[in-house]
């Protein structure tokens, strides 16, 4: 299972997604409440996957995606965004995010998305 860094400025969102992922035996190796913390923790923890909120203080998710992809161009990032943020989600995907999850979280959709992204990336790296 994957080592995951969960990034969201709302603690209850980090807890919610963390609990969903733990049920699938993923390990939450870190949590960040803004993009700056996310970049720092990414450097330190080298997680397999990052769930990234878009709207955060200090450094937003778009800036954090750019910074993380500079550290590791193959970073696996899944964007978490509220409905109505399609334009920003498209920008995130263009910057290298692998997929997105819409808030409020639906447990089955979260797990489907995370597992699909991990399977797809695993197949690419094993070829």
**Per-residue tens of pLDDT for the chain, all 127 residues:** 899 999 999 999 999 999 999 999 999 999 999 999 999 999 999 999 999 999 999 999 999 999 999 999 999 999 998 766 778 888 898 999 999 998 888 899 999 999 999 988 876 655 4
User: What secondary structure does DSSP assign to 5-29, as a single string?
Assistant: EEE-SSHHHHHHHHHHHHHTT-EEE
Residue-level pLDDT at 123: 64
The CATH number given to whatever domain includes residue 73 is: 3.40.50.2300
Q: Among 81, 86, 77, which Cα is nearest to 55's? A: 81
Residue-level pLDDT at 87: 81
Alpha carbons 58 and 35: distance in angstroms, whole number = 7
Domain range for 95 is: 3-126
Residue-level pLDDT at 10: 94
Q: Among 101, 102, 103, 99, which Cα is nearest to 120's? A: 99
Q: How far is CA 86 from CA 4, 54, 71, 82, in A?
A: 24, 11, 26, 9
Residue-level pLDDT at 127: 47
Residue-level pLDDT at 124: 61
Total number of domains in the chain = 1
């Amino acid at each position: 299972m994957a080592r995951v860094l969960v990034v969201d400025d709302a603690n209850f969102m980090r807890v919610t997604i963390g609990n969903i992922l733990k049920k699938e035996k993923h390990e939450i190796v870190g949590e960040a409440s803004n993009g700056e913390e996310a970049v720092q923790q990414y450097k330190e923890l080298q997680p397999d996957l990052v769930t990234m909120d878009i709207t955060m203080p200090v450094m937003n998710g778009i800036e954090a995606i750019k910074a993380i992809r500079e550290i590791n161009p193959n970073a696996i990032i899944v964007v978490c965004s509220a409905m109505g943020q399609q334009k920003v989600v498209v920008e995130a995907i263009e910057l290298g995010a692998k997929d997105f999850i819409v808030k409020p979280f639906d447990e089955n959709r979260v797990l489907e998305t995370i597992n699909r992204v991990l399977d797809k990336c695993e197949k690419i790296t094993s070829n």
